[in-house]
């Protein structure tokens, strides 16, 4: 079994010694990796789809880890009981669905000391949820694989104090592109900012050339996004000079 670069980066974010809920486990590769590398003490591999979950059970059995990895049919973390896991991993889902899973878990009084999240879209929604619900972002990584960029977020319980004094532009830059990624000048993240800025400019120019009244709002939104990207780049550059 060989993990993709994206999923290995997700698994390697988990702090050693945790009991992990792997939500949306698909074929169980992250769960198996966590046990084989002795990162996790125990894993609860959960998925809402019976097909992938069945294959996960087969892979876990083949790896000889059936006693250490519990396979559960579950919508989000609904099949998890309070106290079973202190870390939740959610990878490969849209940001909106991810925040719904986190919210549902909180309503069931499931408390996680650590969250490792890899949203496929709308990472700003995930970061905003974390900041508003008692988590701070301890680490982040960006991976480029098969022509796509993936943001990986590790959050711990606590306050994101620096945000309390951030202006609106800085807040948006952190939410969209990651405070930690910018502060440590992650090379892939810096490439991503340049890519996003180029893409934004191309769309802006295309609309400008064929502008209609209906597209005026889109131009304003693109201009705001461009400001946020440029500000994020300046943040990264400023940390490089320190």
The 8-class DSSP code of residue 138 comes to: E
- Above 80 in pLDDT, residue 213? no
Distance CA 238, CA 182 (A): 9
pLDDT of residue 215: 73
Angle between helices 29-36 and 50-62 (to 10 degrees): 30
CA distance 185 to 177: 11
Residue 242 has pLDDT above 60, yes or no: no
Over residues 196-225, mean pLDDT: 81
Q: What are phi and psi of 187, to 5 degrees?
A: -60, -40
Question: Could you give the C-alpha distances from 110 to 89, 99, 102, 103, 221, in angstroms and in order?
Answer: 14, 14, 9, 10, 37
Query: DSSP label at 215?
Result: G
Q: 25 near 58, Cβ under 8 Å?
A: no
The pLDDT of residue 214 is 62
Residue 209: pLDDT above 90?
no
**132/134 Cα distance (integer angstroms):** 6
pLDDT digits (tens, 9 = 90+) for 22-39: 999 999 999 999 999 999
Angle between helices 187-209 and 216-241 (to 10 degrees): 150
pTM of the model: 0.90
Where in the chain are the domains?
5-159, 187-241
- What would the pLDDT profile of 65-74 be if each residue is shown by its tens digit? 999 999 999 9
CA dihedral 178, 227, 230, 148 (to 10 degrees): 60
Question: What would the pLDDT profile of 138-194 be if each residue is shown by its tens digit?
Answer: 999 999 999 999 999 999 999 888 888 889 999 999 999 999 999 999 999 999 999
Considering only CA atoms, which of 85, 32, 18 is closest in space to residue 61?
Answer: 32
What is the rounded average pLDDT for all residues in the chain? Answer: 93
Q: Which comes out higher in pLDDT, residue 237 or 144?
A: 144
User: Per residue in 128-149, pLDDT tens?
Assistant: 999 999 999 999 999 999 999 9
For range 4-29, the mean pLDDT: 96
CATH architecture for residues 5-159 = 3-Layer(aba) Sandwich (3.40)
pLDDT at position 191 is 96
Listing DSSP states for 142-184 in one string gives EEEETTEEEEEEEEEES--GGGGG--HHHHHHHHHH-HHHHHT
- Measure the CA–CA gap between 79 and 73, rounded to whole angstroms: 7
Distance between first and last Cα of the chain = 42
Distances (CA, A) of 157 to 73, 114, 131: 27, 7, 10
At 29, phi and psi to the nearest 5?
-65, -40
Tens of pLDDT, residue by residue over 86-144, are 999 999 999 999 999 999 999 999 999 999 999 999 999 999 999 999 999 999 999 99
């Amino acid at each position: 079994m060989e993990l993709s670069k994206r999923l290995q980066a997700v698994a390697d974010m988990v702090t050693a010694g945790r009991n992990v809920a792997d939500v949306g486990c698909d074929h169980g590769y992250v769960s198996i990796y966590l046990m084989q590398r002795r990162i996790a003490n125990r894993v609860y591999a959960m998925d809402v789809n019976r097909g992938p979950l069945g294959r996960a059970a087969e892979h876990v059995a083949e790896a000889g880890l059936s006693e250490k990895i519990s396979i559960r049919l579950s919508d989000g973390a609904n099949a998890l009981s309070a106290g079973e896991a202190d870390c939740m991993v959610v990878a490969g889902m849209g940001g909106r669905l991810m925040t719904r899973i986190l919210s549902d878990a909180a309503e069931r009084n499931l408390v996680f000391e650590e969250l490792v999240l890899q949203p496929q879209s709308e990472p700003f929604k995930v970061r905003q949820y974390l900041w508003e619900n008692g988590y701070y972002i301890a680490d982040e990584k960006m991976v480029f694989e098969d022509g796509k960029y993936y943001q990986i977020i590790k959050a711990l319980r606590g306050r994101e104090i620096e945000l309390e004094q951030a202006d609106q532009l800085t807040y948006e830059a952190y939410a969209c592109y990651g405070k930690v990624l910018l502060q440590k000048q992650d090379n892939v993240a810096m490439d991503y900012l340049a890519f996003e800025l180029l893409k934004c400019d191309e769309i802006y120019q295309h609309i400008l050339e064929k502008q209609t009244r209906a597209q005026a709002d889109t131009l304003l939104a693109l201009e705001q996004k461009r400001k946020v990207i440029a500000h994020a780049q300046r943040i990264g550059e400023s940390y490089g000079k320190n």
